[in-house]
Structure 1
Amino acid sequence: MPSTDEPCADHGVEATGDRIEPTGADRGVAARRDRAVRAAAEQGLLGPETPVAGLLDVTGVREAAAALRTAFDEVTADGTPVLHAFAVKAAALVPVVRLLADEGLGCEVASPGELALSRAAGVPASRTVLDSPAKTHGELREALGLGIAVNADNPQELARLDALFSAAGSPAPTGGASPVGLRVNPQIGGGSIGAMSTATATSKFGVALRDEGARAWVVRAFLDRPWLTRLHVHAGSQGMALELMAQGVRETYELAEEINAAAGHRRIDTLDIGGGLPVDFTSDEPPAFAAYARLLRATVPGLFDGRYGLVTEFGRSLLARSGLVLARVEYTKTAGGRPIAVTHAGAQLATRTVFVPASWPLRVRAYDAKGRPKPGPAVAQDVAGPCCFAGDLVAENRALPLLEAGDLTALLDTGAYYFSNHFAYNSLPRPAVHGFAPDPSLPGGIRFALVRPQQTPAEIVTESGEAQREALTDLRTG
């Protein structure tokens, strides 16, 4: 159940009459967003039969990708191989992956489905990394055959790779010559969101380096396997301090130096430092790629001197700021004296926000039926979703201009996870997702491109076993 928030204005804004205007660097993002909402209303992207849709700011995505590349270019020695691999789980949509590939990014995948999406988007195997704590024999064989980089998670997986190489009659990766690494957990501690903290003492990910005998085992594992050439760490996520993330990278770098010294040569040639850069959900400020890269250079200077190739795996920070979920207000009512706006965007889209609102807050913007910023004084009200349970609230006791039936609400910062990690409660359909970019020749100055169509009831029925309708009634007990 969402906790009660005190009515307050969003951060990073200033009052101008009846409107809340962004300040400073926020203006470009907010201006594009306002134009897109109005254009979506004018061009009929929302209506009585299409009451919810996702919008993705293509300009914002390109800007974030460019900022990431620039941030690491500025701290890395010339000639250093650097792969920025987008974490596909953050937006498992082929056109999004394709857009990021066009911006020079590869892919980090963690399932057969994500690998299939990456391949459908045209991302080459040489720019793809497979991470998962539960890879099957089949997944490993496919990745090795394609030449995809693989990060093993644990000793049993390394043994499985040993067996695969032995069965192939080769002591090293075959096929496309996949680079192979080992994920380690530096056990540096967690952030403010326990479920997102990947480097705690008992995290399920990687080899726990501070457990008794673990570090020595890792060194020996590399010395025994000439094909093992990478170390992987992912210490960050939402709620983690940048300093703690940098500490995890430093400890992994020091382990790489220890292994290379023990081998007598550069056995480890690449460090995969993961992603997990936190997003500020209170403003339109861009992701802090430059600040993080500078912090890493100060904390781990040897990481950038050209001796190691680098891989990053950012996801949320690349896309969150550029997305919004736009939903029509179907009804309004009051309960206990508090106004409630019932919309079509709730737990089926904003699952984490509804169930853990303190950790996953979202800003909400109010627009009228024509997509114009809603005027009027702020009134404390709830913004509810369509799911059939009482806690389906995306905002509780939130100060907004009083919403009316037919108005539009925008859930900001939803470009990552909210579009593709659908929660099929009540068999609610997945909404359409549209990308947008400026185009002065069109109404509202915005051109939209369909990323994914709205799911139909027929498709829901098909996914729910329509072809097997008689499967259970045909079973007979003995």
Structure 2
Amino acid sequence: MFVSDCLSVNEAGHLTIGSADTVELARTYGTPLYVFDEGTIRDTLRQYKGSIDRYYGGKGLVAYASKAFACKEIYRIVESEGCGIDVVSRGELYTALSVGFPVEKIFYHGNNKTVEELTYAIEHNVGRIVVDNLTELERISAIAISQNKVVPILLRIKPGIDAHTHNFVRTGQIDSKFGFALETGEALDAVRYALTHPGVALKGIHCHIGSQIFEIDPFECAAEVMIGFMAAVRDETGLILTELNLGGGFGIKYVPENDPVPYQDYMEKVSGMVHTTCRKYGLETPFIAIEPGRSVVGSAGITLYTVGGVKVIPNIRTYVSVDGGMTDNPRYILYQSQYEAVLANRAADPKDSVITLAGRCCESGDLVGEGMPIQSPKVDDIIAVLATGAYNYSMASNYNRVPRPAAVMVRDGQAREIIRRESMEDLVRNDL
């Protein structure tokens, strides 16, 4: 019925998430409000972890991609499921360390890590730093020497795979700001460069071909290319790389016409390619890491809004304005991302209207969606926008000095606040 399995309709005709009544959640915590279903998050992590155990004999790690949604509680959940994380900033790393996340299970990413960030990561013995460029490699070497340490690293490689997704979220092709290219010989040169630098220990390689990918073939191709490169490194330098991080990018269902492949299918077919290609080149199967983010939290989350106005422009469109918008979900203005919307207080009714869901900001482009089927809304109705668990809170802003919303986690029908709503005082806290 809905794009996420954790959603249903109760006897009152209200939308529920994880068996919790969304109308009651809106009354209790206010709107806009991010709501997450803990059961869905845990189930997805367990599916991924189970696939590592099954297809790689447990020789691997699921590392949740923090950029999708980072807060203390999500890190606690990920740790309790025996998984790792990847981080892309000092802020994400600080948040993880603040709840005692195991440093050996942390991958540190980014194409322009500052000296301060690298120093902080090395001081705290982060498990793996994923190196993006030669300048960064030199910085890591110098910092490691100053701290009398040897830092384990992976090199980020561009495998040249064309993932069929939005241009802004394609990161595996040669024309990308991320990583070392294979086609130009840059990647092999980076390996040789790493071997000449003290203070670093090159353990393996990493790739990420894009996001919101529905096909399996690009992942299989990336695995084949990366294993082939590991064989080339062995043949050219004698170095045996023992780790392969295949990144993430698995698609989710945002609207009914999206048709993501079951994650088990991804894992089974990609593992088959890994094992086959390793046998071809006479390599031992490496330690495999994957980095799902959106697929862990995206479908587990919704955003609740209160309708503030309905503006009908005859023969043009109907604008429905809500108390949120681009400040809590900038993905439409960035990517024209599609969503499904439901009138939470009349979720059982047929969708008899098509609307443009408008935000409250002083921007013509502040929309959550256009051409959205929904039940006819009225002022003070509660609208739920579905599958907003990824890249909503993490990309939220204070544009127009709008406070960021609260977030709650639901488990077995019971909700708990995990992020407080920002106050007016929060908005001026750093002003001088």
Q: Provide the TM-score with structure 1 as the length reference.
A: 0.81
Matched residues in 2 for 1:412 and 1:28: separation? 11
Residue 50 of structure 2 is matched in structure 1 by: 70
Q: Cα 1:158–1:28, aligned 2, differ >3 Å: closer, same or farther?
A: closer
SS at match of 1:321: coil
Residue 448 of structure 1 is matched in structure 2 by: 415
C-alpha deviation, 1:395, in angstroms: 2.5
C-alpha deviation, 1:377, in angstroms: 5.4
Q: Does 1:187 align with 2:192?
A: no
Q: Does 1:34 align with 2:11?
A: no
Matched residues in 2 for 1:401 and 1:324: separation? 17
Matched residues in 2 for 1:129 and 1:144: separation? 12
SS at match of 2:310: strand
Residue 13 of structure 1 is matched in structure 2 by: none
Matched residues in 2 for 1:199 and 1:91: separation? 22
Residue 68 of structure 2 is matched in structure 1 by: 90
- Structure 2: where are the runs of 5+ without partners? none
SS at match of 2:299: helix
Residue 406 of structure 2 is matched in structure 1 by: 432
Picking from 253, 276, 289, the partner of 1:280 is: 253
Number of positions where the alignment pairs a residue of Structure 1 with one of Structure 2:
419
C-alpha deviation, 1:262, in angstroms: 3.6
Matched residues in 2 for 1:252 and 1:71: separation? 20
C-alpha deviation, 1:424, in angstroms: 2.1
Picking from 190, 196, 210, the partner of 1:236 is: 210
Residue 189 of structure 2 is matched in structure 1 by: 217
Q: Which amino acid aligns with 1:135?
A: K
CA deviations 1:436-459 (Å, max 9, x no partner) are 122xxxxxxx21010111111111
C-alpha deviation, 1:27, in angstroms: 5.3
Contact 2:151 2:201 in 1 (8 A): no
Picking from 282, 288, 296, the partner of 1:318 is: 296
Q: Does 1:299 align with 2:284?
A: no
Residue 257 of structure 1 is matched in structure 2 by: 231
Residue 442 of structure 1 is matched in structure 2 by: none
Residue 135 of structure 2 is matched in structure 1 by: 156
C-alpha deviation, 1:197, in angstroms: 0.7
Q: Which amino acid aligns with 1:327?
A: Y
Q: Which amino acid aligns with 2:139?
A: R
Q: Provide the TM-score with structure 2 as the length reference.
A: 0.89
SS at match of 2:129: strand
Residue 53 of structure 1 is matched in structure 2 by: 33
Picking from 114, 127, 144, the partner of 1:136 is: 114
Contact 1:147 1:179 in 2 (8 A): no
C-alpha deviation, 1:112, in angstroms: 0.7
Q: Does 1:366 align with 2:368?
A: no
Residue 328 of structure 2 is matched in structure 1 by: 349
Matched residues in 1 for 2:9 and 2:54: separation? 30
Contact 2:153 2:203 in 1 (8 A): yes
Q: Cα 1:74–1:233, aligned 2, differ >3 Å: closer, same or farther?
A: same
SS at match of 1:74: helix
Tell which structure's C-alpha radius of gyration is larger: 1
Matched residues in 2 for 1:377 and 1:127: separation? 45
Contact 2:87 2:107 in 1 (8 A): yes
SS at match of 1:117: helix
Of 256-265 and 199-208, more deviation after overlay is shown by: 256-265
Q: Cα 1:258–1:384, aligned 2, differ >3 Å: closer, same or farther?
A: same
- Structure 1: where are the runs of 5+ without partners? 1-20, 439-445, 469-478
CA deviations 1:125-155 (Å, max 9, x no partner) are 1111111111122322222232211111112
Matched residues in 1 for 2:239 and 2:306: separation? 62
Residue 12 of structure 1 is matched in structure 2 by: none
Q: Cα 1:250–1:70, aligned 2, differ >3 Å: closer, same or farther?
A: same
CA deviations 1:292-311 (Å, max 9, x no partner) are 11221232225788631122
Matched residues in 2 for 1:325 and 1:367: separation? 11
SS at match of 2:407: strand
Matched residues in 1 for 2:295 and 2:164: separation? 16
Contact 1:383 1:395 in 2 (8 A): yes
Q: Cα 1:377–1:119, aligned 2, differ >3 Å: closer, same or farther?
A: closer
CA deviations 1:348-403 (Å, max 9, x no partner) are 1221123432xx211111122xxx41525512222211111223222323222210
Q: Which amino acid aligns with 1:422?
A: A
Q: Cα 1:255–1:456, aligned 2, differ >3 Å: closer, same or farther?
A: same
Q: Which amino acid aligns with 2:84?
A: G
SS at match of 2:298: helix
Q: Cα 1:377–1:108, aligned 2, differ >3 Å: closer, same or farther?
A: closer
C-alpha deviation, 1:434, in angstroms: 0.5
**Over aligned residues, Cα RMSD in angstroms?**
2.6
SS at match of 2:395: coil
Contact 2:49 2:61 in 1 (8 A): no
C-alpha deviation, 1:289, in angstroms: 2.0
C-alpha deviation, 1:160, in angstroms: 2.2
Picking from 179, 192, 196, the partner of 1:206 is: 179
